[in-house]
A = this chain, B = another copy of it.
Amino acid sequence: MTELKTKLPTTSYTILGLLSFGEEMSGYDVRQWAQSMKFFYWSPAQSQVYSELRRLAEHDLVTMREVRQSGKPDKRLYQITDAGVTEFQRWWASDELDTTTVLKHSVVLKIFFGHMGTPEKLIELLEKFSAEQREHLSQLGVVQEYMENDEAMSYPALAAEWSYHYCKAELEMAQKLVTRLKQKL
């Protein structure tokens, strides 16, 4: 029972939050879930998921039990504790990192420095970006379908909806800029 004197990084809380839905999960499971959050929050590297889970266990915010599986390798299943729920709720309601969003938009970055390149290359970049956004939109469509009519998923569904609108806005901006750049050529 190591006390929580040092506050945990957001990644820890993200993982703890995933466990807060009540399901017992392995590191592998957590990773899958975390990947579906990539639309509004980056997903941590695989190795970090495991180390964060170990840290959460050290602080007794989650429990771990090992499960032998015939054939497959052993599994470590994690479950949130009461202390974990309390700590997560505290974090959620706290002002920690309240509205501080981090955005590293490399496409806009390259637009900003467009004078060092060519409009043709910029168009190419924007088309590639647009294709990715379309792909994201279709993935988000699947996610939204999956969450529909599931009361327990209503908040995640809101997050997915936000992401959907965001992607659509990005796509529109990219396309509008392509049109404008082509006119200038």
Bound together, the chains give a CA A57 to CA B128 distance in angstroms of 34
Given that A93-B121, A128-B98 are contacting pairs, would A103 and B42 also be in contact in the complex, using a CB cutoff of 8 Å? yes
**Interface presence of A125 (CB below 8 A):** yes
- Residues from chain B with a CB closer than 8 A to the CB of A105 are 40-41, 101, 103
**Interface presence of A79 (CB below 8 A):** no
**Nearest Cβ distance between residue A91 and chain B, in whole angstroms?**
9
Interface residue SS majority, chain A: helix
**Interface presence of A162 (CB below 8 A):** yes
- Residues from chain B with a CB closer than 8 A to the CB of A107 are 98-99, 101
- Residues from chain B with a CB closer than 8 A to the CB of A128 are 98-99
**Nearest Cβ distance between residue A128 and chain B, in whole angstroms?**
6
Contact A106 B116 (CB under 8 A): no
Contact B117 A92 (CB under 8 A): yes
Interface size class of A (residues with CB under 8 A): 35 or more
Q: Which residue of B lies closest to A38 (CB)?
A: B103
Contact A100 B106 (CB under 8 A): yes
**Interface presence of A108 (CB below 8 A):** yes
Given that A20-B116, A93-B121 are contacting pairs, would A106 and B111 also be in contact in the complex, using a CB cutoff of 8 Å? no
- Residues from chain B with a CB closer than 8 A to the CB of A100 are 106
**Interface presence of A83 (CB below 8 A):** no
Bound together, the chains give a CA A89 to CA B115 distance in angstroms of 10
Please tell me which stretch of A23-31, A45-53, A67-75, A153-161 contacts chain B, meaning at least 4 of its Cβ atoms lie within 8 angstroms of it: A153-161
Contact B173 A104 (CB under 8 A): no
Bound together, the chains give a CA A171 to CA B107 distance in angstroms of 21
Q: Which residue of B lies closest to A121 (CB)?
A: B93
Given that A116-B88, A125-B98 are contacting pairs, would A108 and B152 also be in contact in the complex, using a CB cutoff of 8 Å? no
Q: Which of B118, B155, B166 lies in contact with A115, CB distance below 8 A?
A: B155
Given that A99-B128, A129-B99 are contacting pairs, would A10 and B104 also be in contact in the complex, using a CB cutoff of 8 Å? yes
